[in-house]
Homo-oligomer: A and B are copies of this chain.
Amino acid sequence: MKYTQCSLPKSKYDRIILGHGGGGKLTQSLLSDLFFPAFANPFLNQQHDGAILPVHDGRLAYTTDSFVVDPLFFPGGNIGDLAINGTVNDLLCCGVIPHYLSAGFIIEEGLPFDILKKIISSMAKAAQEANVVIVTGDTKVVERGKCDKIFINTSGIGVVRPDTQISPLNAQPGDVIIVSGQIGAHGICILSTRDNLGFETTVKSDTASLVDIVENLLSGVPEVHVIRDPTRGGLSSTLNEIASTAHVSIELEEEQIPVSEAVCSACELLGLDPLYIANEGIMLFILPGKYAEEALQLIRNSPHGKNAAIIGRVIGDEKAELSMKTSFGRKRIIDMVSGEQLPRIC
């Protein structure tokens, strides 16, 4: 499929009306004028209640995520590419090659068609970049005021690479923690767009699918134990979860954690800790120490991985806690975030 933005035709409506969700002619025209041309592929083109997909013996990975980010458009991306990248990255965390995506839209009556078109275009582009196809979908329209412009759910299926066994359970003493890039960009970017916060920053969201990084790594290194994307709750929540699932402790080195100057300044200004800030284009890899340097090089070879760093290690310790050696040589315990730092980050 070659996706071209100009292939999206003009609709006779300039806004979504309730009838676009009614299952009748208007729904058909929305699909055939906008969704089908943008996402065209042989599976979606079946236009059946579900897509029929070929599979071979093996293991599938299956995941789902809903996207309610506010605002819809932000520096570096929008809800559309976020919805594709997020689900692709979740699949990558299972050690799989992502293949097929579903997309479910809940749209508020009155949403301008132009906005919808931009979002759909971004989704199609992001899907193409991640080499996945959207094979089945659904559209609902709710009355004005009953949702916030548009919510998107994507689910995804991928095929687990043979001989790959990726799971948070596998983290073990002697493993190192590698992060694929600078942390905190997505959360700070969204914060900066919120009306009432009154601060400006140049930070762009890091939203991206990391197919190439994971493929390079899994093809080049014989043993990778855990892959996770530290989204909501940031590095601290993800690493705490892994520590508690695998019954190990994790020790970070503050000085090794890559954070851009802009994110640093914004965090200082707002009194936030980058370890708790959401990321959308960052991966954590946990693998045996003996492969650390090799893995780091492989990750750095990818455009999204050039700032990758080894940031800590797994230690055998029944406390199952996450700690960090600070720049001043002290050790502090990093707890999981409790409630909500910032709602609707993704």
Chain A contacts to B: CB under 8 angstroms: 17-19, 21-28, 46-68, 70, 90-91, 93-94, 96, 100, 102-106, 135-138, 140-143, 145-148, 151, 153, 155-158, 160, 167-168, 228-229, 231-233, 237, 241, 245, 278, 336-341, 343-344
Contacts and interface: CB of A to CB of B under 8 A. Distances in A.
Nearest to A341: B22
A222 to B, nearest CB: 20
A343 to B, nearest CB: 5
Contacts of A233: 22-24, 27
A56 B106 CA distance: 34
A293 to B, nearest CB: 27
Contacts of A49: 63, 90-91, 93-94, 228-229
A105 B153 CA distance: 9
Contacts of A19: 338-340
A59 B65 contact: no
A223 to B, nearest CB: 18
Nearest to A149: B146
Contacts of A168: 47-48
A148 B155 contact: no
Given A23-B231, A340-B21, A344-B142, A48 B106 contact: no
B22 A336 contact: no
Given A57-B57, A61-B52, A336 B68 contact: no
Given A62-B136, A66-B140, A24 B337 contact: yes
A71 to B, nearest CB: 13
B48 A94 contact: yes
Nearest to A245: B47
Residue among A22, A151, A228, A233 with max Cβ neighbours from chain B (10 Å)? A22
Contact of A24 (B56, B103, B142, B339): B339
A52 B94 contact: yes
Contact of A147 (B21, B147, B338): B147
Residue among A24, A52, A168 with max Cβ neighbours from chain B (10 Å)? A24
28 contacts: A18-B343, A19-B340, A22-B339, A22-B341, A23-B237, A24-B232, A24-B339, A28-B336, A49-B63, A49-B91, A49-B94, A52-B60, A53-B61, A54-B59, A54-B60, A55-B58, A55-B59, A60-B157, A62-B157, A66-B104, A66-B140, A66-B153, A68-B142, A102-B155, A104-B153, A138-B153, A147-B147, A157-B157
